[in-house]
Amino acid sequence: MILVTGGAGFIGVNLIRYILDSTNESVVNVDALSYSGNSASLKSVELNSCYHFVHANICDEIALKQIFNKYKPTAVMHLAAESHVDRSIDGPSEFIETNIVGTFKLLEASKSYWLSLSKQDRDKFRFIHVSTDEVYGDLEQDAQAFNEITAYKPSSPYSASKAASDHLVTAWHRTYGLPIIITHCSNNYGQFQYPEKLIPHMILNALAMKSLPVYGDGSQIRDWLHVDDHVCALYEILKKGRVGEVYNIGGQNQMTNLDVVSQICELLDELKPCSANIGSYANLINFVVDRPGHDIRYAIDITKIQTELGWYPQESFRAGLRKTVEWYLTHLSWCQNIMDKDYQHAPIERGVTIK
C-alpha cells in the first residue's frame, strides 16, 4: 500500500494511474482537493479495488494519524504542494502552510507510524519526497547543469518553501532515521496538467483566439520532462533508490519559453488550423513584462539516476509535445470544467472524508 499525497494533482494523477496500470501495488490517495486538485482526473480508477481516496489536508494531524492506522502504508510518496510561482508571488502564505507546515506534519505522522512497525517492516518503509529543480535557483547560459550537490539558492516564495521542506525531510532522516529519498524534477508537461501552467495555458488561449503572453523576451530556458517519464522514475526510485539520497530527474530537453510556445503554435496550425483571419497561431504571441525574480535557466544533470538505477527519459520533446497537444484537443470538456470550477463542486464518489 503506497500513500500518495496530492494524488489529485497533475503529477499525482499520472503517478497513481501508472502504479495501478503497471504494478501490483495498492494506493491510498490523500488530497485536500484545493483549486488544482481534480478528482475527476481519476474517474477511470475509482472502482479499482486497489485504489482508495481520502479527502484530507496534510496539515491535519488527526486525519493523518487515522489514515496511517487504517491503511498501514509501506511507503509514502509526498507530492502534495502549492506549486505555481506566480501564485506564490501574489500570496505566499498558502505555500508556507502547505509546503512547509504540511510537510512537517506528514513527517511527524510518518515517523510515529514507522516507529510502531516491526524492524522488518521499518527496513522496508520509504518516504519519497518529490521536490523541484527550482530550489537550486538559476543558471547562466553556459553554466553546468544542476547536480545533487548543487547549493540551494531559491528565487521565489514557491521555491523557497520547497527548499525548506527538503531540509525538513533531510533532518528527519539524520535525526530520527526516517528512511527518506528526495527527488528534484525539471519542468513537467503532459496530460492532466492544470490549465494555468505554460503549455496547457498556451494551447487553450490559442484555441480561444486569446493573446499568448510570453514573459520578457521568452529567452528563459527550461528542461522539459514528460510526466510519464517522471512517474516511471519515481517508481524506480521507490523500489531501487538508496535511503538518504537525492536523485535529480530531467528530460534532457532544454528549450526557451519562446521556442516552446512557437512549437505549440506550429502543432496547432497542423492539427487545428484556426478559422480566424490571422494566419498562424504564432501571431497571437504577445511579450509582456517579466515577472519578479524570473530565473534565467534550469538544467538537470541526470548522471546519478542513470548510473545507479538505469533510468533514462524515453520521450523526446517534440513527440511528447505532440501527444500533449492532441490530448488537450480531445479533452476540452475536462479543461472547461476546470476553468468553470465545476470540478470543485462534483461529488466525491469514492473514499472516506476524514475531518
The enclosing domain of 296 has a CATH number of: 3.40.50.720
C-alpha–C-alpha distance, residues 107 and 64, integer Å: 10
Q: Is residue 276 pLDDT above 80, yes or no? A: no
* Domain containing residue 279: 2-353
Identify the residue whose cell numbers are 502552510: 97
Cα 106 to chain centroid, rounded:
18
Report the candidate in 176, 305, 208, 178 with the shortest Cα–Cα distance to residue 250.
305
- What tens digit of pLDDT does each residue of 135-153 get? 999 898 889 999 999 999 9
Catalytic site positions: 133-134, 158
Mean pLDDT, residues 123-145: 94
- Angle among Cα 159, 16, 88 to the nearest 5 degrees reads 20
Q: What is the pTM of this model?
A: 0.92
Q: Using an 8 Å Cβ cutoff, are 173 and 241 in contact?
A: no
C-alpha–C-alpha distance, residues 127 and 4, integer Å: 10
At a CB cut-off of 8 Å and minimum separation 6, what does 211 contact? 205, 284, 286
pLDDT at 141: 85
- What tens digit of pLDDT does each residue of 76-92 get? 999 999 876 778 888 88
Q: Using an 8 Å Cβ cutoff, are 32 and 99 in contact?
A: no
From residue 83, alpha-carbon distances to 6, 14, 158, 159, 177 in Å are 11, 16, 6, 8, 28
Q: Is residue 36 pLDDT above 70, yes or no? A: no
Report the candidate in 28, 14, 248, 239 with the shortest Cα–Cα distance to residue 126.
239
pLDDT at 15: 98
pLDDT at 312: 96
What is the tally of structural domains in the chain? 1
pLDDT at 294: 84
The fraction of the chain above a pLDDT of 90, given in percent, is 79
Identify the residue whose cell numbers are 535525526: 175
